[in-house]
Structures are given as structure tokens and as C-alpha cells.
Amino acid sequence: MAIIKTTDLTYIYNAGLPTQTTAIKDINIEIEEGAFVGVIGHTGSGKSTLIQHLNGLLRPTSGKVYIDGRDIWAHKEQIRQVRFDVGLVFQYPEYQLFEETVYKDIAFGPGNMDLSDSEIDSRVKQAAEAVELSPADLQKSPFELSGGQKRRAAIAGVLAMEPKILILDEPTAGLDPRGRDTILKLITRYHQEKKNTILLVSHSMEDVAKFASKVLVMSDTGVLMYDTVQAVFSHAQQIRQIGLSIPQITQIFIQLADRGYPVPRNVYSVEQGMREIQKLLQGREGGKP
């Protein structure tokens, strides 16, 4: 069953004014419960506008958004619950940290959900553990943390609401390679444990290929493709035509295939690439051309 569905979803900024701009148009998608979806597209393709519709931050100019089978705008009073069900982590979420302690910051979201103090406490501790923040870290001011720790604390504040759907908009922006890998591995582990639905907006094709199971490609206000990682990146030429890159490992194997080596073109992870190279070398050692 699709946990996210949109029908003819369209949004126009400044509608009716000379400056009106169509940000997304006639978006029809169905995303399965439990999927880990990478969302890619060039700047201005509509990625951010789309994800802001999924938890009711923007209301469609036309069309509908369904979460877990419900039209989220059928009753205005249910939007509050939708924002608990669909957690959205913006770029640089650490800029929104404001409480005296990390504990209070993580507890802010659950504190607005009419939960008991014991339930809030349990959620804060579980979310902190999920992002590898220690009990001692919870008692610190957010501004005592390192940049990577601040990012993880901000993400924990969303995780503590236990959303059915977690949307992350460039969650590794501005981090060094080590911090980026830490964040992505924690998100992946969280997804494996909770089995919830995750949308990861990213400009890194390598990250999408490595961590996502499906890819949603946005182009010129619409959806160009929605399919498995392997199927999407097999359309390398089409991906390039809309101004996106493909994973470097995929580029290498396409070049090898073009030069006559018997390797597949749809290699999209380093691990898969290593296996294919080993097969190629073993074949040569066995006397194959």
C-alpha cells in the first residue's frame, strides 16, 4: 500500500500576480510504505516544494496529497497530526536549536503531542541513542556540541516524534566526509530498525546509490522517473541531459564497456563494482578473453 500518494499535485507561487511561477505541476506519485527513496533533481526542479506539501507546510494550488490513505487537506484540523506523522528535517537544522539543554531541544516536539512526561523522557533517550548522543550530551547546551553533534541533535528532535515518514532535505550539507558518512549510516540503521518510510533529498548521486532503494527524479516541475536505483541510473544519458551526474563508479563501468570490456553498464555502487572487477579478473585467469 502507498503511504504517500499525490494526484495532479500543482503549486504556483504568487498565483494571480505578474511574478507567478509554477513550482510543480501535475505530480502523480505513489511511494510504498517502508521505502527508502532518494530524491534528486537540478536546482529549481521542484524537490523542496514537493516535500513541503507532504507534511502540509504548503497547500496545493490544485491536486491532492494523501498520507496513509487520507487526503491531508480534507479536514484542516488534521494538519497538526500530519506534521507529527511526517517528520521534515530541513537543511542546516541545527540553526533551529534554541533550548537550554540538548534534552529540552529533543523533547520540544514530543512535548507538543499531549504525551506523558515518562513517554517524552523515553522518546528523548531513544532518539538520542539512535543518533549516538550520550546521556552526558543531553545535559549540555546545544551550543557546546560540535557541528556534527548539533546536526544529530536536531535530527533527534524529529525522530523523537516517531514519524511514520521521515523526510531529510540535504541532511549532510556542510559536513566533512566523516560527519556525512556518520549521519547517513545512522539514518540507514534507523530505517532498518523502525521500518518506516524515508525520503532523502540529496545532490550526491553516490549517497543515493549507496543508501536508497528507489530514486525519484524531478525535472522541470515534474517527475521524470521513479524506479529502483539500478533502473534509474541505467538511464545515464537521460540523467545527464537534465543536468545531473551519475555515480562515478557507474561512469567508470560505462567507459569500460565502451572500450570493449565485458562488464555491465549499470553498476552503481563501489561494492558491486569490486565484484564485477573480480569476476573479470577471474575470467581472464581462467583463459577467457
245-262: pLDDT as tens digits = 889 998 899 999 999 999
pTM recorded for the entire structure: 0.90
Is residue 18 within 8 Å of 215, Cβ to Cβ? no
Query: What spatial distance separates the first Cα and last Cα of the chain, rounded to whole Å?
Result: 48
Strand 86-89 with 36-41, pairing? unpaired
pLDDT in tens, 181-230: 999 999 999 999 999 999 999 999 999 999 999 999 999 999 999 999 98
Alpha helices in the chain (DSSP H): 47-54, 79-85, 102-111, 117-130, 135-138, 147-159, 177-194, 205-211, 229-233, 236-241, 248-258, 270-285
Dist CA 246 CA 236 (whole Å): 6
- Tens of pLDDT, residue by residue over 159-179, are 999 999 999 999 999 998 899
**What are the residues whose beta carbons fall under 8 Å from the beta carbon of 278, sequence distance 6 or more?**
none
pLDDT at 107: 97
What pLDDT score does 192 carry? 95
Average pLDDT value for residue range 58-76: 96
Long-range contacts of range 108-116, CB-CB < 8 Å, 24 or more positions apart?
108/157, 109/84, 109/157, 109/158, 109/160, 109/161, 110/160, 110/161, 113/84, 113/161
Residue 284 CB partners (closer than 8 Å, separation 6+): none
Contacts of 33 (CB under 8 A, 6+ apart): 1, 2, 3, 197
Q: E strand or H helix at 222, and its extent?
A: strand 222-228
Candidates 11, 47, 12, 18; CA nearest to 224 is: 47
Please tell me the predicted confidence (pLDDT) of residue 289. 53
- Can you give the pLDDT at residue 285? 63
Say if residues 4 and 37 touch (Cβ distance below 8 Å).
no
Give me 167's grid cell.
Answer: 523526510
pLDDT digits 0-9 by tens, 68-99: 999 999 998 899 999 999 999 999 999 989 99
Per-residue pLDDT tens over the stretch 120-163 = 999 999 999 999 999 999 999 999 999 999 999 999 999 999 99
- Which pLDDT does position 282 carry in this prediction? 86
**Phi and psi at residue 129, to the nearest 5°:** -65, -40
Fill in the amino acid letter for 171.
P
Task: Please list the residues that pair with 88 across neighbouring strands.
Answer: 167
The CA distances from residue 220 to 22, 46, 69, 205, in Å, are 10, 7, 27, 19
| pLDDT the model gives residue 287 | 54
Kindly indicate the confidence band of residue 236, based on its pLDDT and cuts at 50, 70 and 90: confident
Average pLDDT, the chain: 93
At residue 21 the predicted structure's pLDDT band, cuts being 50, 70 and 90, is very high
- Grid cell for residue 185: 549510516
Determine the average pLDDT of the residues in 284-289: 58
pLDDT at position 270, please? 85
